[in-house]
Chains A and B, each alone.
Chain A
C-alpha cells in the first residue's frame, strides 16, 4: 500500500533523492508516517528543500482520512495519562520501599483497609479512629475559616469601596500576609491559654488575608457599566448591594474562599502537630512517635484527598453560582 506513494515522494523531494536507496529499502515495510520520518532524517542542507506536505503527493497527505487513524476521545487520553502518572508514582514508591525505610505500597494498602474498616472507634482521648481525627481537623478549619469569612468578606467590601480604608489597610496587609501562620501560634496559646482555640485562631489568621484581598479586588473590578445601570435606575443602596455589588464580586470572593481553604487545610496539620489533642495533624505526629510509618503514609493520602475534595467542591460551587463573570 505504501510502495506507490513512496515512489512519488522520491521524485518530488529533492533531498529524498539522495536518500533514495535507504528509503527504498524500507519502503515496503513502513507506513506513510514512518516514510516521512525517514525522509526527515535525510540530509537537508537548505531550508527551501523542505517541501510542504502537499508536495508529497496525495497519498501521503496527513489530512487524508484514508491514512489517518481514528483518534481516541480526549477524556480517554486524559484518563490514561492520569493512570500512567499514578502508576509511575506507585512504581517509584515501590522502588524506594526496596531500600527498607519506607513500607511498600501493598502493605500500606492492606493497613489502610484495616484502618478504614473501623474509622470511628474511641479508646480514650489519645487513641481514636482516623475518621474522628479528620472530623476534628475539619471542624477546626470550618470554625476558623467561617470566622475569617465573617470578618474578611465585609472588610474586603469596605476596603474595595473606600480608597482611604484601602490605603489604611495596605501596609498592615502587606506586612502580615507573608508571615507564616504558625508564627501566630504562641500568641494564640498565650491569649487563649488552650490548644484548641489557639489552632482555630491560627486558621482564622491565615484564611483572612486571601478573603480580604480577593473581595477588595472584586469590588474594584466591578465594571462602570453595571454601576451606571444602578445609577440610571436610581436603585436603593440595598438593591445596589444585593443585585449588583454582591453578584459582581461573588466570583472573586469565591476565589478568595478557595485559596483560604487550601491554606487553612495546609496549616491545620502543622498546627495540630504542635498543639496535640485530636486531629489529623496530631495523628501523624502520634504515629511518628509510635514509629508506624505506614500510618503516616495513609495520613498523607487522607490529607491530600480531603484537601482535593474541599478545593473541587468550591470550584464546583463557583461554577454553579456565577454567570458570565470570571474572576
Chain B
C-alpha cells in the first residue's frame, strides 16, 4: 500500500506568530501523493502553497497535524527531499560543478570514492545540458542556466521526493518552456515523485498528474483536486489543441478566477 500513500499530509495546519499577532496560513490540509506521481500546487499568491512545500521539505514544522513520507514522520529537512528554490539559491563562491558536488558529497560520500562522486556531478550537469558551464561561477551564467544548475543539484541527490518551488517563475517564456520540456523528460527517466508549486496554469496542466488547487488565504486549504487524464509522454504542440488539455486548463482557470476570484480592495 506504500505506493498509494507515499507522502501523507494529515490535517496539517500552520500558523505564524509575528509580534504577538497570530496569522493562520494553512488549515486542515489533507493530501496523499503516490510514488512516482507529479503533483502541482496552484493558487493565488499568498495562499500558502510555498508554506505547504516548506512543510514537506521540513524547513517548517506544522502547528497542527502530521506529515509522513513512506510512513515516517517528517521531522526536519533532509537530503532525501531535495528542493529546487524559486531563486535558484546557488552559492556564488562555488562553480556550477562545485554547487552540485556539495550536494553529491553530502549524500554519497560515505559509500563512494572521489571518482564516483565526480562522475555523479558530471552526470547531473550533463542531464540538464550544462557540461560546458561546469567550471563557471553562477554570476557568469544566465538565469535559466542557474535554475538548471539548481535542478541538477536537486536531481544529483537522487531524492525520494523532488520539491519544486516555482522553479521557472523568474524566467522568460521561451526558457521556461524549454526547461519544462527538459523536466518532463528527466522525470520520465528517473521516475521521481514530484511536488511543484506554481501559479502558471499551463505549466501545471502540462507537467502534472494531479493539480491541487488551493483556496485563498488566510487559513487556506485545498479547494479542489483535478486529475489530468493525459498520457505521457506529453508534447506541448499536440496538447495545445487537445480537447482534454483545454478542458483541464479551463477547469483550473475557472477555479482560480471564478470560484476563488481575488477580492480587489
Residues of A within 8 A of B (CB): 225-226, 228-229, 231-235, 239, 243-244, 247-248, 250, 322-325
Contacts and interface: CB of A to CB of B under 8 A. Distances in A.
A325 to B, nearest CB: 6
Interface string B61-105: 000000000000000111101110101010111100000001100
A234 B89 contact: no
B162 to A, nearest CB: 12
Contacts of A226: 89, 91
A234 B87 CA distance: 20
Given A225-B85, A228-B59, A234 B79 contact: yes
B137 A324 contact: yes
A233 B85 contact: no
Given A225-B87, A325-B93, A234 B59 contact: no
B244 interface: no
B53 to A, nearest CB: 12
Which 7 interchain pairs have the tightest Cβ spacing? Answer: A324-B92, A324-B139, A247-B93, A225-B89, A231-B77, A323-B93, A233-B106
20 contacts: A225-B87, A226-B89, A226-B91, A228-B59, A228-B85, A231-B77, A232-B59, A232-B78, A232-B81, A233-B79, A233-B103, A233-B106, A234-B76, A235-B102, A243-B94, A243-B102, A247-B91, A322-B93, A323-B137, A325-B92
A234 B139 contact: no
Contacts of A231: 58-59, 76-77
Contacts, number: 60
Contacts of A324: 92-93, 137-139
A244 B106 contact: no
Given A232-B83, A323-B139, 11 more contacts: A225-B87, A228-B59, A231-B59, A232-B59, A233-B79, A233-B103, A235-B102, A239-B102, A243-B91, A323-B137, A325-B92
B86 to A, nearest CB: 9
Nearest to A326: B92
Contact of B89 (A228, A322, A323): A228
B57 interface: yes
Contacts of A233: 79, 102-103, 106, 157
Given A243-B91, A323-B93, A235 B139 contact: no
B101 to A, nearest CB: 10
Interface in B27-84: 57-59, 76-79, 81-83
Nearest to A229: B89
A234 B92 contact: no
Contacts of B138: 323-324
Nearest to B95: A323
A134 B157 CA distance: 55
A234 B93 contact: no
A234 B78 contact: yes
**B58, B76, B83, B89 — most chain A CB neighbours (10 Å):** B89
A252 to B, nearest CB: 13
Contacts of B139: 323-324
Contacts of B137: 323-324
A226 B137 CA distance: 16
Contacts of A322: 93
B196 to A, nearest CB: 16
A250 B57 CA distance: 29
Contact of B106 (A235, A247, A250, A325): A235
Nearest to B154: A232
Contacts of A234: 76-79, 106
Nearest to A225: B89
A247 B92 CA distance: 9
Contacts of B81: 232
A232 B78 CA distance: 5
Contacts of B83: 228, 232
Interface string B149-160: 000000001000
A226 B89 CA distance: 6
Contacts of B57: 232
A321 to B, nearest CB: 8
A229 B91 contact: yes
A242 to B, nearest CB: 11
A231 to B, nearest CB: 4
Contacts of A225: 85, 87, 89
A219 to B, nearest CB: 15
A244 B103 CA distance: 13
A159 B81 CA distance: 32
Contacts of B79: 232-234
Nearest to B82: A232
Contacts of A323: 92-93, 137-139
A262 B94 CA distance: 30
Interface string B115-139: 0000000000000000000000111
Contacts of A250: 93
Contacts of A248: 93
Contacts of A229: 85, 89, 91
**A233, A234, A239, A324 — most chain B CB neighbours (10 Å):** A233
Contacts of B93: 247-248, 250, 322-325
A221 B150 CA distance: 22
A244 B59 contact: no
Given A232-B83, A233-B103, A235-B106, A244 B91 contact: yes
Contacts of B59: 228, 231-232
